[in-house]
Chain A
Amino acid sequence: MTPIDTDYSAYVFATYGIALVALAAAFGWSALRLITARRKLDEAERAETDGSAET
């Protein structure tokens, strides 16, 4: 078994760092999905309105 350093600060900060990065990524991904979906709907609605105006 590998001997473990008894100064655990690096391990503690690693756990906090992992959680921070993962939660920030989850937030970023969710926000990006929402913004992209909103943009896609706006484009579709604009195309719908333009199409109605043409006909």
Chain B
Amino acid sequence: MAVMSFFANPHRFMAASKWPAWGFTLLGAALIAFGVWKGLIAPEDHQQDERARMMFVHVPAMWLSLFAYAFMVGASFISFVWRHAIADVAAKSAAPIGAVFTAIGLMTGSIWGYTTWGTWWEWGDARLVSVLVLFFIYLGYIAVWQAMETPQKAARAASILCLIGAVNIPIIHFSVEWFAVLHQQSTFMTTDDRATAEFKIPMYISALGYLALFGGLTLMNMRAEILRTRAEMLMQRRQAAD
């Protein structure tokens, strides 16, 4: 709560976020590059041979698409209940990054699906469809911010949309257990986790890279949003004075 109050002041946030924004971005890029390299030199999987290498890109992107949405839900809740100005900015800034991760997950998953199932897309698969719904929720959320007359109305409407859309998150996670799907069940962090270190290490390094990149890019977008708002306020004040 104290941290929340501290960062409610945009000046404090701007002072504290300058170096983390670039630092996390650089760290993310470095970790992703290292994870990709480890993934490319990893031995072939005994079941999925070379196709398993696609997982080092696909799985972290999907994890982070869900994480980004969970982050937006938290920020939207804080914005909705406490009308915290920075929480609005955080949710708004995370949305495009989450949408990019979801798009990466959908496209790379489609390629993997083609090589494994022989089809680029399967409408009957609940995991695929629920992730596509997540992508559309991201786009809808971004559109709401653009469509409303005032930022206050946009923040309110976008928060409500985000909180309603949170229903989709458990559906995505449990779709492979609840429905008969082509998509395989979770491999990592389950009681039946049989992935070897050769696969786990590049996967976790890539996931950490995606996480750091998400943090860095979200902070960059938050800073841009605060600077833009401040500039618009100054211009409005100047116009009113003239």
Note all chain B residues with C-beta closer than 8 A to A47. 234-235, 238
Indicate if the CB atoms of B231 and A44 lie closer than 8 Å: yes
Whether B100 and A37, one on each chain, are in contact in the complex, defined by CB atoms closer than 8 angstroms, is: no
Stretch at the interface among B2-10, B52-60, B130-138, B187-195: B52-60
Interface residues of B: mostly helix, strand, loop or mixed? helix
Interface: B32 (CB within 8 A): yes
CB contacts under 8 Å to B, within A1-55, are 1-2, 4, 8-9, 11-12, 14-16, 18-19, 22-23, 25-27, 29-31, 33-34, 36-38, 40-41, 43-45, 47-48, 51
**B108: nearest chain-A partner, CB-CB:** A15
Residue in A closest to B112 when the chains form the complex, CB atoms: A15
Chain B residue at minimal CB-CB distance from A38: B227
What's the least CB distance linking A29 to chain B, in Å? Answer: 7
Q: Given the complex of chains A and B, what is the CA–CA distance between A27 and B33 in angstroms?
A: 15
The distance from the CB of B181 to the nearest CB of chain A, in whole angstroms, is: 19
Q: Could you tell me if A8 and B231 are in contact, using CB atoms closer than 8 angstroms?
A: no
Q: Which residues of B contact A15 (CB under 8 A)?
A: 54, 57-58, 107-108, 111-112
A48 touches B115 (CB 8 A): no
Query: Once bound together, how far apart are the Cα atoms of A28 and B135, in whole Å?
Result: 21
A2 B118 Cβ-Cβ under 8 A: yes
**A-B pairs, 7 with minimum CB distance:** A37-B227, A44-B234, A41-B231, A33-B224, A15-B108, A37-B224, A40-B231
